[in-house]
Amino acid sequence: MISYERFELKNGLRVLVHEDQSTPMAAVNLLYNVGARDESPEKTGFAHLFEHLMFGGSLNISDFDEQIQLAGGDSNAFTNNDMTNFYTTLPAANLETAFWLESDRMLQLKLTPKALETQRRVVIEEFKETCLNQPYGDVWHHLSDLAFRIHPYRWPAIGLIPQHVEEATLDDVREFFDTYYCPNNAILSIAGPVKSADIRRLAEKWFGDIPAGAIPLRQLPQEPPQQQLQQRIQRANVPVDALYLAFHTPARDHTDYYAVDLLSDILCNGNSSRLYRRLLKEQQLVNAIDAYITGNIDPGLLIIEAKTREGISLETAEAAIWKELERLQNQAISKRELAKYINKVESTLIFSETNVLNKAMNLAFFELLDDVDLINTEAEAYARVTTADIQRVAQQILTRENCSELYYLAGSGDGF
Amino acid sequence: MPNRKLPPPIHDIDRIQLPAIDTAQLDNGIPVYLISMGSQDVLKLEIIFHAGRPYEHQRLVGRATSRLLREGSAQYSSAEIAERVDFYGATLNIPINLDTSSIVLYTLSKHLEALLPLVADMLTQPLFPEEELENYVHRCIQSLQVELSKNEVVAYRTITELIFGEDHPYGYNSLPDTYAALRREDLVRHFENRYHSGNCQLLLSGGLRANSLDLLNRHLGQTIPRGVRTPAQISTRDTRPEQLWIDRPGTVQTAIRIGGRFHSKQHPDYHAFYILNTVLGGYFGSRLMTNIREDKGYTYNIFSTVDSFHHAGCFYIGTEVGNEFTRATIEEIYREIDRLRETLVPPEEMKMLRNYLLGSWLSTIDGAFNVASIVRTLVVEDLSFDDFDRSVARIRQISAEELRELARQYLRREDLWEVIVGESAPSGN
């Protein structure tokens, strides 16, 4: 059970506080409600590039990291399709330093040609390191492109192509900052040995005078239901053949989210899961296999991926996977099998409460979903899923019409 | 309106102390370290065996033996082990490093009793089925192929092999043939000679209950056989620094590793060298990150790390850079090394470094599992608990002069190995 207090400043900044007196460290999380899904198709990778620029100094502070390190803290950030999230952990006694830093860069970021030029290069090197120079590194580019026709999930957060990042101008980034980096588009959460009243005072002091912005209404094109199997064969310079199946899933706030998450666990979470047992251990068709959901806010994907054993074709492995998917559709799973995965979820949730940063991040994320109480009610939502629910979502989701299939073949390809 | 020009005051961290650790001994002599902290009903059990590379009679047998522990024992098949662990919502990991292999069990406290018989059976009566070994070898060879297609993996393997020597337990690299040569008898022999009380240490952390120690004793103290600590077998050979460029045409980034010899964590210079390494490439504000990423934009990441094992150690700088930046990056790395040898770290930077490290030390003792990982390092390396206090004191007291002295001793160009993996530079560049 995570207790929390929630309040809102006049400028629209939402604040969440969780008191945990058992630790000397405090976590400060600041989530901006802007992600790669808000980008224009001609300027992708922008939200992520901007995350890098946020560390380049602000109106009154020449170097963000220097000040955090001076306060004994550590800071980082991530960007995904849905949001941009900045986080800091530091000794609780120096908490106010994080307020000073975060509020100053929300008020007025220092955007210089030199900083933009450097971070453009850094992000292009990141693009190369994570996507271009890694075996299977461009799989996300292929899968998003195959599965989504019109929704902006059709490009990954790193960007569609490095050129988009190369072409970013100072005007572009200034406009992005003015549009999205406003208190009424942000959620601040604090966890640690703090008092709510002190956080209220600090939030008022440092963020209270930052003017609200006019946030554009998010109007994303919704992906129509997929009508037929999408297929792509990619040859690349990788040592082993790999297979990816992607199925469209309901949105994060859909009641079936929990059943679909459990469905992916039943398929391949842990060494006793179905695909691991049957394909890897018993039939020995694959040397690696996994299944998971992307967990996006808008309707996302359930992914199954496998690397086949030498001498086994992707077709053979895929046929064996479909056999398992059909079994889930045709026969209800046992109560015990479902209980196993509900136990696993319970355990994972309790373990995640041992860390202040986790708690701060989760509070902000659930507030973004407009239901911060989910932090305490999700375990029950998982526990309510029935074996009939699992069979039903398997029948709805794990179909060929709803599937995008990527064959990644070993050999020499043309690269990206 | 706040005065934003005026930073809030920074408070010094005056107290960083390991919480009291209870120690005990099981009936068979295995030392137990108990870290009871936190309000959540969760536990981490780690059973450590000094059964890594320095204790192998054959290459990779340590890794293979530990990986196959979960693949079937006298009372539980591989499938039953997996099913039981998953059913209780637990996680069973078998992490290995060069010196040790461990069994790590994360579980809700209430399920420890139900899971211990299974852990005990894995550790006392494993079967090492032939077919499981064959599959394991097959999977390893295939994933090795994937790993070897990454420049940074090839660079790491090469530089550690060159520094320690290819016959050294810390230097040799796995190859398809090394895996293929593994026989069931080798695993059985390694298991019988190494998995006993003399090579074992045990840590339990989290929300302990009154009967936790009794449970450990009943299931592990009375089953794991007694034995005496196995001495390490290490053949050292003199190696000399060299430069190697491995050409991999068609890659868009080049991996760079530059490093040298260091010592184990018991060496008197360890704590100070760790601090020097932090200045060079151990945190975001480090010299390498500030210059090569944040000023030049040659890379997404550059770091320097100290790898101190039980019997020896090394350190290395690592980065992946766009091919066109390879030469310039290498130059800048040496420039930063020379700067540490020639000039003193200025007072403002010393202050930032000290505060950053003290803050990060404070977070290493935040929570039972973090404390457990500190205690693990101390007991595995045969260090006493006050070594932690010594490391804190070193951070508080170290001077810029001492850091420069240390740089002059350990960061000499002529003592460094250099491995570059990527597209070879055009001639004349």
Residue A243 CA to residue B302 CA, distance in Å, equals 33
Q: In angstroms, rounded to a whole number, what is the distance separating the alpha carbons of residues B200 and B213?
A: 16
Query: Do A239 and A161 have their domain in common?
Result: no
Q: What is the pLDDT of residue B264?
A: 96
On whether both A247 and A361 belong to a single domain, the answer is: yes
Torsion of CA A90, A91, A94, A99, to 10 degrees: 30
Domains of chain B plus CATH, in order, are 22-221 (3.30.830.10), 243-422 (3.30.830.10)
Q: How confident is the model at residue B132, as a pLDDT?
A: 96
Which secondary-structure segment (H or E) carries A315? helix A314-330
Task: Please answer yes or no on whether B139 and A287 come within 8 Å at the CB atom.
Answer: yes
pLDDT tens digit string along B168-223?
Answer: 999 999 999 999 999 999 999 999 999 999 999 999 999 999 999 999 999 999 99
For residue B172, which phi and psi values (nearest 5 degrees)?
A: -70, 150
Interface of A with B in 297-316 (CB under 8 A): 307, 309-310
Domain check: are A185 and A286 in the same one?
Answer: no
Q: Does A211 touch chain B (CB under 8 A)?
A: no
Mean pLDDT along residues A178-206: 97
* CA pair distance A384, A378, nearest whole angstrom: 10
The alpha carbon torsion through B51, B55, B60, B63 (nearest 10 deg) reads: 0
* Residue B402: φ, ψ to 5°: -65, -40
**Is the pLDDT confidence value at A376 over 70?**
yes
Q: Which of A272, A262, A308 is nearest to A289 (CA)?
A: A308
CA A185 – CA A178 distance, rounded (Å): 11
Q: Is residue A215 part of a domain?
A: no
Please check whether residues A48 and A94 belong to one and the same domain.
Answer: yes
Q: Which letter, b or e, does each residue of A98-123 get, where b requires 16 or more Cβ atoms within 10 Å of its Cβ? A: bbbbbbbbbbebebeeebbebbbbbb
Residue A382 in domain: yes
Q: Is the pLDDT of residue B338 over 90?
A: yes
Between β-strands B417-422 and A25-32, what pairing exists: parallel, antiparallel or unpaired?
unpaired
User: Is the CB of A288 inside 8 Å of chain B's CB atoms?
Assistant: yes
pLDDT in tens, A232-285: 999 988 989 999 999 999 999 999 999 999 999 999 999 999 999 999 999 999
Closest Cα partner for B188 from B95, B61, B310?
Answer: B61
Which two tokens mark B156? 């790491």
Which residue of A lies nearest to B145 if distances are taken between CA atoms? A239
Question: b vs e for B239-248, b when ≥16 Cβ sit within 10 Å of the residue's Cβ?
Answer: bebeeeeeeb
pLDDT at A177: 94
- Is residue A66 located within the same domain as residue A182? yes
Mean pLDDT of chain A: 95
Substitution target in B3, B11, B109, B135 with the highest count of A β-carbons within 10 Å is B11
Residues A184 and A306 grouped into a single domain: no
Residue A225 is assigned to a structural domain of this protein: no
3-state SS assignment for residue B264: coil
Is residue A212 included in any domain, yes or no? no
Whether B252 sits inside 8 A of A206 (CB atoms) is: no
Q: Indicate whether A324 belongs to any domain.
A: yes
Q: What pLDDT score was predicted for residue A64?
A: 95
For chain B, percent of residues with pLDDT exceeding 70: 99
pLDDT at B360 exceeding the cut of 60: yes
Average pLDDT over residues A207-225: 96
Between chains, do B296 and A73 touch, taking CB under 8 Å as contact?
A: no
Q: Annotate B151-213 with three-state secondary structure.
A: HHHHHHHHHHHHHHCCCCCCCCCCCHHHHHCCCHHHHHHHHHHHCCHHHEEEEEEECCCCCHH
The stretch A207-227 carries a mean pLDDT of 96
Do A76 and A116 fall into the same domain?
A: yes
Confidence of residue B425 (pLDDT cuts 50, 70, 90): low
Please name the residues in contact with A118: beta carbons below 8 A apart, sequence gap of 6 or more: B294, B295, B296, B297
The answer to whether residues A168 and A234 belong to one domain is no
Segment A349-372 shows an average pLDDT of 94
The answer to whether residue B429 scores a pLDDT higher than 50 is no
Q: Which residue of B has its CA nearest to A268?
A: B86
If DSSP codes are grouped into helix, strand and coil, which group holds residue B263? coil
Q: How far is the alpha carbon of A270 from chain B, nearest alpha carbon, in Å?
A: 7
Do residue A309 and residue A364 come from a single domain? yes
Nearest partner of A99 among A187, A199, A209, A177, judged by Cα: A199
Are B356 and A72 inside 8 Å of each other by CB? Answer: yes
CB atoms within 10 A of CB B271: 18
Same domain, A193 and A288: no
Residues A275 and A202 in one domain: no
How confident is the model over A341-367, as a mean pLDDT? 94
B87:A117 CB<8 A: no
- Give me A337's structure tokens: 């099998």
Q: What pLDDT score does A117 carry?
A: 94
Q: What whole-number distance in Å separates Cα of residue A213 and Cα of residue B103?
A: 53
Nearest to B45 by CA among B64, B26, B62, B72: B26
pLDDT of residue A412: 61
Q: Quick check: B287 and B317 in contact, CB under 8 A?
A: no
| B19: amino acid identity, one letter | P
> Is residue A383 less than 8 Å (CB to CB) from chain B?
no
- CATH number of the domain enclosing A381: 3.30.830.10
The Cα B290–Cα B296 span in angstroms is: 9
Runs of H (alpha helix) within B343-399: 347-364, 368-380, 386-397
| pLDDT surpassing 50 at residue B24 | yes
User: What would the two tokens of residue B206 be?
Assistant: 């989290």
- SS3 of B68-96: the string is HCCCCECCCCHHHHHHHHHHCCCEEECCE
* Total domains in the fold of chain A: 2
Contact A335, A387 (CB under 8 A): yes
Of B8, B2, B98, the residue nearest B308 (C-alpha): B98
Asked if residue A96 belongs to a domain, the reply is yes
Q: pLDDT: is B233 or A374 the higher one?
A: A374
Q: Residues A228, A232, A234, CA angle at the centre, nearest 5°?
A: 170
**Pair of tokens at residue A295:** 């967990």
Q: How many residues does chain B have?
A: 429
User: CB atoms < 10 A from the CB of B337, how many?
Assistant: 22
- Do the Cβ atoms of A361 and A91 come closer than 8 Å? no
- Cβ-count burial of B4 within 10 angstroms (0-12 exposed, 13-18 middle, 19+ buried)? middle
CA distance A315 to A308: 10
Q: Give the pLDDT of residue B171.
A: 96
Q: Does A94 touch chain B (CB under 8 A)?
A: yes
Which chain A residues are closer than 8 Å to B366 by Cβ?
23-25, 356
pLDDT given for residue B426 in this prediction:
52
Pick from A158, A192, A207: which residue ends a domain? A207
Is A139:B313 a contact under the CB 8 Å cutoff? no
Question: Could you list the residue range(s) of the whole structural domain that residue A300 is in?
Answer: 230-410
- The pLDDT value recorded for residue A414 is 47
Residue A161 to residue A45: CA distance in whole angstroms:
8
| Chain A residues within 8 A of B107 when measuring between CB atoms | 347
* Residues of A with Cβ-Cβ distance to B104 under 8 angstroms: none
**Distance in angstroms between the alpha carbons of the first and the last residue of chain B:** 56
Q: Residue B425 is encoded by which pair of tokens?
A: 């530079």
Which of 148-167 (A) contact B at CB < 8 A?
none
Domain end residue (candidates: A207, A222, A254):
A207
Same domain flag for A203 and A238? no
Provide the whole-model pTM. 0.95
Query: Of A220, A230, A305, A215, which Cα lies nearest the Cα of A268?
Result: A305
| Nearest by CB: B13 against A91, A120, A310 | A91
* Residue A400 counted as domain residue: yes
- The distance between the two most distant Cα atoms of chain B, rounded to a whole number of Å, is 75
pLDDT mean across residues, chain B: 95
Residue A416 lies in a domain: no
Q: What is the arithmetic mean of pLDDT over B79-96?
A: 96
CB-CB contact of B62 with B190 (8 Å): yes
Q: Nearest CA to B319 among B265, B271, B280, B360?
A: B280
